[in-house]
Copies of this chain bind each other. A is one copy, B any other.
Amino acid sequence: MFKFTRRTEYALIAMRHLQSKSMSEITTTKEISDQYAIPFEILSKVLQSLAKVKIIKPVYGPNGGYIIKQNLSNISLWDFLEIMEGPLGLADCFIDSDCTQLDNCNIRTPIQQINNKMKTILTKMTVSDVTL
């Protein structure tokens, strides 16, 4: 449990880098990939997925690259992590909710309380808490 995936790390690094630029500056995948020693192809896909959810904006053609949406303070960290890694939860039953042995399970309730505490923290924080 409890570790960001590389994709998530790459995304946060890239977003912070993009955020440090002025609104009109365009940054290429290669620039970021070089500066932080991130495999180019992987970073490409990460940035593509960020573009897909409109967190960053692609600019095609020569001298192209990406621009970031400047205000990321309206995206909670929880939501962002779910974008990057899929649905979050301490156990499957908080995600799919079709655990075959829910009847027998004796720890669902206490774990749900822990789950909620974690969720609260991550929901109160925003992406810009990391990138700004």
Contacts and interface: CB of A to CB of B under 8 A. Distances in A.
- Interface size, A (range): 35 or more
Interface centre among A1, A90, A101 (most CB of B within 10 A): A1
A122 to B, nearest CB: 8
B37 A104 contact: yes
Interface string A21-60: 0000000000000011100000000000000000000000
Contact of A3 (B8, B13, B37, B91): B91
Interface of A: 1-5, 8-9, 12-13, 16-17, 20, 35-37, 77, 81, 85, 88-92, 100-101, 104-107, 110-111, 113-114, 117-118, 121-122, 125, 129-131
